[in-house]
Amino acid sequence: MADDFRTTEVGERYAQALFDLALETKTLDAVRADLKSLKAAWIDSADLRRLATSPVISAEDQTKGLVAIATAAKYQATTRNFLGLLAQNGRARDLTAVIAAFEALYAKHAGVVAAEVVSTQALSAAQLKSITTALTQALGKNPEITTRVDPSILGGLKVKVGSKLFDASLKTKLDQMKFALRRA
């Protein structure tokens, strides 16, 4: 699911428009919080994903649905109107790309380094502190870390910073061994 959040050209254009509007209306942090909430909802809700991506749901119904969700979640008017416009233009399926591109624009604007840590189970406070310290030393900046649990990696960690991925997962190591054995 989190792999759905990749930028596209369309997503970048819409995200740039939203970012510029949020800056202009001085609602940048509120819009960012709304999009973080929407990203979490996307990951958790199959109904939301279906609403935005189903080809059988009309743009009008997608617009009504996304605006209703934004209203119920008490999103900023800028975010709510943007979601309506996105769906109205038949681009609701690009929502994940817009969120990813907006996050990148915000990080660049604020000088923030975003890092995603994927583990097989929830990390303890001590583990998270240790990872944060290691990333701070490696990057020279304080990272903004998001965590995600993915039991399919079997063990270890995956850490993604920007476009770089450090994959120390057990699944990847087993796949590498399987590949090496096939070549031998």
Structure tokens at 110: 């604020």
pLDDT digits (tens, 9 = 90+) for 75-87: 999 999 999 999 9
Angle at 58 between CA 56 and CA 63, to 5 degrees: 135
pLDDT digits (tens, 9 = 90+) for 14-54: 999 999 999 999 999 999 999 999 999 999 999 999 999 99
Helix boundaries (H) for 6-152: 9-24, 28-44, 46-53, 59-72, 77-88, 95-110, 125-139
Query: Are the beta carbons of 91 and 10 closer than 8 angstroms?
Result: yes
Burial 106-122 (b: 16+ CB within 10 A, else e): beeeeeebbbbbbbbee
Angle at 26 between CA 25 and CA 28, to 5 degrees: 110
> What does the alpha-carbon distance between residue 92 and residue 75 come to, in Å, rounded to a whole number?
17
| pLDDT over threshold 70, residue 3 | no
Structure tokens at 161: 């910073």
> What does the alpha-carbon distance between residue 93 and residue 48 come to, in Å, rounded to a whole number?
11
Q: How confident is the model at residue 4 (pLDDT cuts 50, 70, 90)?
A: low
Phi and psi at 74, nearest 5°, equal 60, 45
In sign, the C-alpha dihedral spanning 8, 146, 115, 15 is positive
pTM: 0.71
Average pLDDT on 100-104 reads 91
Query: Are the beta carbons of 146 and 116 closer than 8 angstroms?
Result: yes
